Amino acid sequence: MFTSAFAATMTAVDEPTVEDPGGFFGALADGAEYFIALFQAGGDFFLALVTGILPLLIVLLTAVNALVRLIGPERIEKLGAAAARPGIVWYPVRYLVLPVLAVFFFTNPMAYTMGRFLPERFKPAFYDSAVSFVHPITGLFPHANPAELFVYLGIAAGITQLGLPLGDLAIRYLLVGMVVILLRGILTEFITARLMARRTAQEGASA
Partner 1 sequence: MSTSTTKKSGFDSFNSVLVTLGRGVGGVVNTFYQAGRDTIETIIRNILPFMAFISVIVGIITKTGIGDALAHLIEPLAGSLVGLLGISIFCAIPILSPVLGPGAVIAQIVGVLLGTRIAEGDIDPQYALPALFAINPQVGCDFIPVGLALGEAEPETVEVGVPAVLFSRLITGPISVVIAYFASFGLYAGA
Helices (H), the chain: 2-14, 23-52, 54-71, 74-82, 90-92, 98-110, 123-131, 150-161, 167-206
Q: Which of the stretches 11-19, 20-28, 88-96, 193-201 binds partner 1 when contact is defined by CB under 8 A?
A: 193-201
Least distance to partner 1, CB of residue 111, Å: 9
Binding of partner 1 by 75 (CB under 8 A)? no
Asked if 103 touches partner 1 (CB under 8 A), the answer is no
Site string for partner 1, 30-69 (x = CB under 8 A): -------xxxxxxxxxx--xx--xx--xx--xxx-xx--x
What span, in angstroms and rounded, lies between the C-alpha atoms of 111 and 130? 7
Residues counted in the chain: 207
**CA dihedral over 130, 132, 138, 143, signed as positive or negative:** positive
Residues 108 and 144: beta-carbon distance below 8 Å = yes
Of the two residues 18 and 47, which places its CB atom closer to partner 1 in the complex? 47
Window 115 to 154, contacts with partner 1 (CB under 8 A): 115-116, 118, 120-121, 123-128, 130-132, 134-136, 143, 146-154
Segment contacting partner 1 by CB under 8 A, of 15-23, 25-33, 89-97, 178-186:
178-186
Omega before residue 109 within 30° of 0, cis: yes
When the beta carbons of 79 and 187 are compared against partner 1, the nearer one is 187
